[in-house]
Amino acid sequence: SVTASGAITDSGTLAITGTTAINAGANNITINNGSGTFGTLEIIGNNVIVSENAATDIGASTIAGDASFTSTGNVTDSGTIAITGTTTINVGGNNITLNNGDGTYGTLQLLGNDVTVDENAATDIGTSSVGGTLNIDSAGNITDSGTITVAGTTTINAGANNITLTDGDGTFGTLELTGNDVTITENAATDIGASIIANTLAITSAGNITDSGTIAAASTVTLNAGSNNITIDNGDGTFG
């Protein structure tokens, strides 16, 4: 456990087996030697940068500014994470699983394979590249503020709230959507999987629009494929 009245940095390799608790108050934490291993991280600070040469587990943490985690393994959470600014997580070809359920992350910037995030607030997704699947579960509206690239299935659950992914350059694989008013702009062909839309659905696509699951939309469904084709023939869909 380290508590300091100033910034906390590293100038050598740290190898910690158990919990690493770091409290810098309103100051910054920069642990980026790159070879360190930390067990479970519990962090209090302003702007936080951590690089770990192993899988990374984040315990109960409060970060007033931005947080950046770079890991050579999976990134998981074992406690409630509260981040006010941008949360950047880079695991390369590994997985990100933040599903404690009580976490809040500011804007998420994600680089990984299979990514699962549950947020107890509105969710904003910044520039992100996901090699496998993306699963976002939010207690509020879900928006994008950067280009999202997903190779596999994108599952977005906003409950009774709205989903607005209109950056325009995003690509989402197959979309599975649960929300109220849902607006998607995709810079590729668009495939809609099993989705439940309580109100309106608006899809704008740079390619063909297809369905690979049952779509249930209670109100108006607006599909714009430009000069491309629209084929919604699952057979079980309902469209307002």
* Residue found by looking up tokens 């050598």 in the block: 12
Q: Residue 147: what are its φ and ψ, rounded to 5°? A: -80, 125
Q: Are 114 and 132 in contact (CB under 8 A)?
A: yes
Residue 168 pLDDT: 87
Q: Which residues pair with 134 in a beta bridge?
A: 115, 154
Residue 34 pLDDT: 85
Q: From the CA atom positions of the chain, what is the Rg in Å? A: 20
Residue 39 pLDDT: 96
DSSP 28-90: -EEE--SS-B-SEEEEEESSEEEEESS-EEE-SEEESS-EEEEESS-EEESS-EEESSEEEEE
Residue 225 pLDDT: 98
Number of residues written out for the chain: 240
Q: Which residues of the chain have pLDDT under 50?
A: none
Q: Are 136 and 155 in contact (CB under 8 A)?
A: yes
Q: Tell how far CA 231 is from the center of its chain.
A: 29
> What is the 8-class DSSP label of residue 150?
E
**pLDDT tens digit sequence for 184-232:** 999 999 999 999 999 999 999 999 999 999 999 999 999 999 999 999 9
Residue 101 pLDDT: 87
Tokens encoding 122: 């509105």
Tokens encoding 83: 């981040």
Q: Tell how far CA 176 is from the center of its chain.
A: 15
Residue 195 pLDDT: 98
> What is the 8-class DSSP label of residue 178?
E
* Amino acid, single-letter form, for residue 95: N
